[in-house]
Amino acid sequence: MNTITAAITAVGAYVPDFVLTNKALEAMVDTNDEWITSRTGIKERRILKEEGKGTSFLAIKAAQDLLAKANIDPLEIDLLIMATATPDMPVASTGVYVATEIGALNAFAYDLQAACSSFLFGMSTAAAYIESGRYKKVLLIGADKMSSIVDYTDRSTCIIFGDGAGAVLFEPNYEGLGLQDEYLRSDGIGRDFLKIDAGGSLLPASYETVRDNKHNIIQDGKTVFKYAVTNMADSSELILKRNNLTNEDVDWLVPHQANKRIIDATANRMNLEDSKVLMNIEKYGNTTSATLPLVLNDFEHLFKKGDTIILAAFGGGFTWGSIYLKWAYDKK
């Protein structure tokens, strides 16, 4: 029997219509377009403005886009993994709701949370289910409504984040394509540097936590930047060495879209030319769990069957890693 590998066979995405530009942010906080662009590479981000719509709305739209493009019956899906840091609500799984709403009634579903590394870790999880031979179609969705946890009076965070969703389908492959190797790590030292203080079991919601604005994301930007640059670059370099790959062997780098300077540092460590480094951060900002699938969707037209792709991410916690993937299809 041929060895089963887990390959991506379809992608989909969704971003809200509302565009929050750097110019608009100038009227909200003490910042300007030149400052934001030079330090982050971000020009605009998408925001889900409609009342009563959360992360599940974004995820459903992205999943429906994938199903329509690939002409797949949702009843064929065995499992749905929802990678997100902003679930609709604390207890009821967002992934379960998404699966039901898209008609994936034969699938079981759950949420996976590893901050900005959620989708990368989800790829490892989805691949393991496929490689087990017990599942044929695993839908992995990365979606976040970051605007729901951002303080738009805090210029250190409101310039960074946006809303969006992306989805990929994993299926068995018998040609040696798909996920080849992974290097995933975490370190609890990051707990204090990128977080939301209240709303969990440690500090439940109260009048005081709301009054003191403890339900929004906060970060120590310099510390997070330092760890992100080091760990994303290190993990990407290591995955190349471990698989005897050179910069010439890599067709594309798909990095987490947190900050252009972090992406540049990772690419430099890998000695990659700019044309191989895929970025859409200028359009969407940091959409957390959605950055990697949004890049895959936006640049799907460039990928050829057999292409070597390195994906890398860094997130709160801290969480980070890299995945070595062989692309499995030519876009029709």
CA angle 320, 167, 240 (to 5 degrees): 40
Q: Cα separations (Å) of 43 from 18, 188, 228, 280?
A: 14, 32, 21, 10
Q: What count of other Cβ atoms lies within 10 Å of the Cβ of residue 241?
A: 9
Is the Cβ–Cβ distance between 135 and 79 less than 8 Å?
Answer: yes
Choosing from 22, 216, 256, 297, the catalytic residue is: 256
Choosing from 116, 158, 173, 259, the catalytic residue is: 116
Is the Cβ–Cβ distance between 289 and 84 less than 8 Å?
Answer: yes
286 is catalytic: yes
Beta pairing, strands 218-219 & 194-195: antiparallel
If 0-12 CB within 10 Å is exposed, 13-18 middle and 19+ buried, where does residue 133 land?
Answer: exposed
Rounded Cα distance, 171 and 168, in Å: 10
Choosing from 22, 216, 286, 297, the catalytic residue is: 286
Is the Cβ–Cβ distance between 5 and 179 less than 8 Å?
Answer: yes
Structure-block tokens of residue 131: 């490689």
158 is catalytic: no
Is the Cβ–Cβ distance between 281 and 257 less than 8 Å?
Answer: yes
As annotated, the active-site residues are 116, 256, 286
